[in-house]
Chain A
Amino acid sequence: DFQMTQSPSSLSASVGDRVTFTCRTSQSISNYLNWYQQKPGKAPKLLIYSASSLQSGVPSRFSGSGSGTDFTLTISSLQREDFATYYCQQSYRTPYSFGQGTKLEI
């Protein structure tokens, strides 16, 4: 199985900050990397797919990059509604494993 490691596990930031999350995989997955946002009591929401493609309806302040084993999700200017937990997921080979998440706090 592919191991997914997200860092940091939690992050404190302020409205207007630029933040970057990292996801590292144990083996190369090309660009088969997706990012989700989850708020308490809600289902995850797809933000980025194929490492850098913005899902329709997602604000342009979200962006993704990377290939191979190292990936990043960046929020260019934090808004209050962005405080949530973020998960990466590889869809290169089953089981399509998730990272452990990064909790973004105010």
Chain B
Amino acid sequence: QVQLQESGPGLVKPSETLSLTCSVSGYSISNGYYWGWIRQASGKGLEWIAIIYHSGTTYYNPSLKSRVTMSVDTSNNQFSLNVTSVTAADTAVYYCARSRYNYGPFDPWGQGALVTVSS
């Protein structure tokens, strides 16, 4: 059974870089599939951030593209998200998730990691 777990600092200062890692168990990322990040501000809806294929091909949300980078680390079976120049608007619960194919739904999801941007 595939499981995903987000990890990273819970507090980031404005203008700094938010870095999160998603560790995958029960499946080897090098075997394929797409891996993504989604976030949700408190009391708000879901925002799609980006997805990456195991080969490294990435697709970013244009609203965040200039600040977002995803990468995959097959040796450690994890993938990462970096968001630069953060502001309070980047405060949210960040979820990682898997999609079995491009154009596919996300399933399963990690439990989510709350990241607060504050000085």
Question: How far, in whole Å, are A87 and B46 apart by their CA atoms in the complex?
Answer: 8
Given contacts A43-B110, A96-B48, A98-B45, contact A49 B105 (CB under 8 A): yes
Instruction: Count chain A residues whose beta carbon lies closer than 8 angstroms to a beta carbon of B.
Output: 23
Q: Are A43 and B109 in contact (CB under 8 A)?
A: yes
Q: Which residues of B are at the interface with A, using a C-beta cutoff of 8 A?
A: 38, 45-48, 51, 59-63, 95, 97, 99, 103-112
Whether A98 contacts B109 in the complex (CB less than 8 A), given A43-B95, A49-B104, A91-B103, comes out as no
A-B CB pair tally, cutoff 8 Å: 63
Q: Which residues of B contact A46 (CB under 8 A)?
A: 105-108
- B105 in contact with A95 (CB, 8 Å): no
- Mask for A54-79, Cβ within 8 A of B = 1, else 0? 01000000000000000000000000
Indicate whether A1 reaches chain B with its CB closer than 8 angstroms: yes
- Name A residues whose Cβ lies closer than 8 Å to a Cβ of B: 1, 32, 34, 36, 42-46, 49, 55, 87, 89, 91-92, 94-101
Interface SS, A side: loop
Least Cβ–Cβ distance between A23 and chain B, in angstroms? 13
Q: A1-B62, A43-B95 are in contact. Are A95 and B107 (CB under 8 A)?
A: no
CA distance A22 to B110 in the complex (A): 27
The residues of B that contact A99 with a CB separation of less than 8 Å are: 45
8 A/B residue pairs, CB under 8 Å, sorted by A: A32-B103, A34-B106, A36-B106, A46-B107, A94-B48, A95-B60, A98-B46, A100-B45
How far does the Cβ of A73 sit from chain B's closest Cβ, in whole Å?
13
Structural contact, B103 and A92, CB atoms closer than 8 A: yes
Tell me the complex Cα distance, A44–B103, Å. 18
Cβ of B60: which chain A residues have Cβ within 8 Å of it?
Answer: 94-95
Q: Which residues of B sit under 8 angstroms from A34, Cβ to Cβ?
A: 105-106
B102 to chain A, nearest CB (A): 8
B110-A98 in contact (CB<8A): no
In whole Å, how far is B1's beta carbon from the nearest beta carbon of chain A? Answer: 11
